[in-house]
């Protein structure tokens, strides 16, 4: 079964490039949102398997959107950013998002790995 993904990024060029890349790799990108309001609407309507949320959404916080999508709308969220994980390490430790992927490393296998790791019980 193909992964159904929703991309949330305020940069339309990145959103389209990410859609093209992930679709070539076998994902079904069900939508691309540019802000939190649009992301919540599309997530409710389309029920993706995972929502990829840019940490920096212009005036909005991707962390806040990830929390809302996860806690209120029961979505699985993976955070993405052009910046490295070390720049957000404290916030990443407290987010309900399943993981983080740098935009430069974004790929369907990386998303699958993050989602797989999130399902693995710690023990």
Please give the model's pTM, rounded to 2 decimal places.
0.92
Q: Where are the domains of the chain?
A: 4-118
Strand 56-57, strand 28-33: pairing: unpaired
CATH topology of domain 4-118: Rossmann fold (3.40.50)
Q: What is the mean pLDDT of each run of 10 residues along the chain (123 residues)?
A: 91 97 97 97 96 94 96 95 89 93 96 82 44
Q: Which helix (H) or strand (E) holds 39?
A: helix 36-46
What was the pLDDT predicted at 10? 96
Q: What is the DSSP string of 47-104?
A: --SEEEEESEETTEEHHHHHHHHHHTT---EEEEESS-GGGGHHHHHH--SSEEEEGG
* CB-CB contact of 22 with 31 (8 Å): no
For residue 122, the Cα-to-chain-centroid distance in whole angstroms is: 23
């Amino acid at each position: 079964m193909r992964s159904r993904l929703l991309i949330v990024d305020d940069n339309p060029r990145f959103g389209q490039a990410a859609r093209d890349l992930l679709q070539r790799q076998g994902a079904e990108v069900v939508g691309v949102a540019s802000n939190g309001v649009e992301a919540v609407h599309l997530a409710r309507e389309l029920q993706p398997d995972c929502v990829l949320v840019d940490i920096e959404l212009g005036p909005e916080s991707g962390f806040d959107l990830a929390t809302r999508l996860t806690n209120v709308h029961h979505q699985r969220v993976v955070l993405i950013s052009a910046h490295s994980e070390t720049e957000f390490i404290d916030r990443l430790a407290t987010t309900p998002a399943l993981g983080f992927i740098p935009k430069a490393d974004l790929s369907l296998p990386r998303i699958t790995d993050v989602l797989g790791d999130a399902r693995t019980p710690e023990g």
